Amino acid sequence: MARIMIAFALAVIGAAIVATVIQTQFNLAALVALSVPIDLTVRMHAISHDLLHFGPIIALIFIPTFAIAFMVAYWLSVKLKVAERWWFILAGGVGLAVAFTLIDSLAPMPTLIAANRTLLGFILMSSCGAFGGWIFDRLWHPRPQELLEELP
Amino acid sequence: MSRLLQALLVSLSMVLSAAAAASQQEPQAPQVQVTPKVLAKGLHYPWSMAELPEGGWLVTERPGNLVYLNPQGQRMHIPLDLPDLYATAQAGLFEVLLTPDFEQSRELVLSYSCGTEQANNTCVVKAKLSPPNAAGYALSALQNIFTALPKKEGAAHFGARMTWLGDGSLLVALGDGFVYREQAQNLQNHLGKIVRIRRDGKVPEDNPFTHTQAPEVYSYGHRNVQGLVFDAERNKVWQHEHGPKGGDEINDIVKGGNYGWPMTTFGKDYTGALVSPYNDLPGVKAPLYQWTPSLAPAGLALYQGDLLVSHLAGKRLQRLRLVDGKWHLVAEYLVAQQQRLRAVMVAKDGRVLVLTDSTEGELWSLDLDIQQ
């Protein structure tokens, strides 16, 4: 169980970091298009700020999303007995796309996350769920190789 | 790679020290408890009011009603036919403003959101109010004098506050439509702008951007303007607008001015993300006052040379004084039964009137007769 919890936490953290960096780049790109000067220091400052302030918020969205998505992925992989990793990747990505859509339909503002205002941004942000699914599946149970290494 | 890591570490320390500095509290203004006198009840999301010379007030209700309140607070419905009214969420009927020569012309202007969920924006109509008679009031000669373009999707950030300038032209404040924030810097449309038009809807020749596709634009770089007033004594236009999470601003509006949104802001996105790393940039007009955290100002009035600002989220009335070119908070007026405050005006007899924002909105009279 501890391994599953750690794998889940790492999936959330890893996906949140990637999602944060992606959304920061979208925000900065919009400013660059307005001729706002964004040098490396400013870019790093923006990433740092967003990792501290946006990262925890997006992680809070990922936790329930991944919990549901990964259970569905596990059920599908057991039921169909094939391609476990792909089910987790697909479930993470689709789960996040559904979660973003649901949040935007419920939140008072039309789009909660600025990067999701464009189709490309929405796809890239949702793909962070797929990345989370990949991390979780990679870590949540020992691979056959690891089990062999544990034999005396 | 090491340069990247170094920059990241320096940035992290800068962010942490900035957060520590931001947590330091500003000095508190004196808080004054006031007891409102309720002049009228049962208003459904009232948005603005105008005092009639013959007595009583016109009040707009956001779902689309124009009502007359007599001095005793009794309401009378005024039929208003706006076929393209789009009323939902933040959208609906907004400001009612009498023309400067209302006593002779009986003309007024109304701002509202027009269109559909997929294609809407802010519109302004001019109309004529009948003299009072036994049947109440009637509007006639409705004429569209402005439609903000482009039509956009969603029911957020319409602005819609208006004020007359000394030369008889009309300023109409607009919003950025929330999801179109970068358009506030695009001079080819009306999103995130304050526009200036003549009373008949025509564009004044001395507008600053008459060469563009949006010649009505007077100033730009606004997010969602919710307060606008012409200060004839100082020949200034004062404005306030909503920031996102933090960064609500009071600005001194000048012709052709760029007020920065979204290139500069003291606010953050609702998710905590940076909208912009900059509070200030060359060529951008800095605010004369800013609220962080946001109080969601909605309504602005001049009172004895000071500004009165009513707040939605802040549920209070604030008084600010101009000292050395900056506005300073000098008093906060709190009411025991805290309500979201949508609009404030000063009546001809000097009373301060406030509209509360709810399904059962009220018109209050507040006594601020306390020396500051």
- Cα(B123)–Cα(B110) distance, integer angstroms: 8
- Cα(A30)–Cα(B268) distance, integer angstroms: 15
Q: Given the structure tokens 């770089």, which residue do they identify?
A: B221
- What does the DSSP assignment read for A1-19? -HHHHHHHHHHHHHHHHHH
Q: Which residue segment(s) compose the domain that A50 sits in? A: 2-143
Angle formed at CA B42 by CA B37 and CA B48, multiple of 5 degrees: 75
Q: Which two tokens stand for residue B299?
A: 């309504």
| Interchain pair A110, B153: CB under 8 A | yes
Residues of A in contact with B89 (CB under 8 A): 108
Q: Which residue segment(s) compose the domain that B279 sits in? A: 39-292
Say what the pLDDT of residue B4 is. Answer: 46
Say what the pLDDT of residue A109 is. Answer: 82
- Cα(A94)–Cα(A89) distance, integer angstroms: 9
Q: What is the pTM of this model?
A: 0.91
The answer to whether residue B4 sits within a structural domain is no
In this structure, is the dihedral angle defined by the CA atoms of residues B200, B202, B203 and B206, taken in order, positive or negative? negative
Q: Average pLDDT for residues B115-126, to the nearest whole number?
A: 96
- For residues B241 and B224, the answer to whether their CB atoms sit within 8 Å is yes
The answer to whether residue A150 sits within a structural domain is no
Which of the 8 DSSP states describes residue A102? Answer: H
A 78-97 residues inside an 8 A Cβ radius of B: none
| Interchain pair B271, A54: CB under 8 A | yes
Number of domains in chain B: 1
> Over the stretch B327-345, which tens digit does the pLDDT of each residue have?
999 999 999 889 999 999 9
The answer to whether residue B318 sits within a structural domain is no
> Over the stretch B339-372, which tens digit does the pLDDT of each residue have?
999 999 999 999 999 999 999 999 999 988 754 4
User: For residue B306, is pLDDT > 70?
Assistant: yes
- A53 close to B (CB below 8 A): yes
The answer to whether residue A149 sits within a structural domain is no
The answer to whether residue A10 sits within a structural domain is yes
> Over the stretch A11-64, which tens digit does the pLDDT of each residue have?
999 999 999 999 999 999 999 999 999 999 999 999 999 999 999 999 999 999
What phi, psi does B145 have (nearest 5°)?
A: -115, -10
**Residue ranges in chain B assigned as alpha helix (H):** 2-22, 102-105
User: For residue B177, is pLDDT > 70?
Assistant: yes
Number of domains in chain A: 1
Say what the pLDDT of residue A110 is. Answer: 85
List the single residue in A31, A56, A117 with the smallest CB-CB distance to B276: A31
Q: How confident is the model at residue B17 (pLDDT cuts 50, 70, 90)?
A: very low
A 90-129 residues inside an 8 A Cβ radius of B: 108-114, 117
| Interchain pair A52, B12: CB under 8 A | yes
Q: Which of A79, A8, A104 is nearest to B179 (CA)?
A: A104
- Cα(B281)–Cα(A36) distance, integer angstroms: 9
Give this complex's ipTM: 0.89
The answer to whether residue B11 sits within a structural domain is no
The answer to whether residue A24 sits within a structural domain is yes
- The CATH number linked to B122 is 2.120.10.30
The answer to whether residue A148 sits within a structural domain is no
- Cα(B129)–Cα(B237) distance, integer angstroms: 27
Q: Which residues contact B190 (CB under 8 A, 6 or more apart)?
A: B121, B122, B148, B149, B174, B214, B216, B217
Q: Given the structure tokens 């300073």, which residue do they identify?
A: B328
The answer to whether residue B279 sits within a structural domain is yes
DSSP strand pairing (B31-34 vs B326-335): parallel
Average pLDDT, chain B: 92
Q: Which two tokens stand for residue A22?
A: 């992606």
User: For residue B27, is pLDDT > 90?
Assistant: no
Say what the pLDDT of residue B8 is. Answer: 46
Q: What is the number of other CB atoms lying within 10 angstroms of the CB of residue A25?
A: 18
Q: What is the number of other CB atoms lying within 10 angstroms of the CB of residue A104?
A: 17
Q: What is the number of other CB atoms lying within 10 angstroms of the CB of residue A79?
A: 9
Three-state SS at A50: helix
Q: Average pLDDT for residues B103-115, to the nearest whole number?
A: 98
Q: Which of B45, B358, B298, B82 is nearest to B173 (CA)?
A: B298
The answer to whether residue B355 sits within a structural domain is no
User: For residue B32, is pLDDT > 80?
Assistant: yes
Kindly state the percentage of chain B with pLDDT values over 90. Answer: 88
Lowest mean pLDDT across A2-6, A21-25, B209-213: A2-6
The answer to whether residue A23 sits within a structural domain is yes
What phi, psi does A124 have (nearest 5°)?
A: -65, -40
Q: What is the number of other CB atoms lying within 10 angstroms of the CB of residue B188?
A: 13
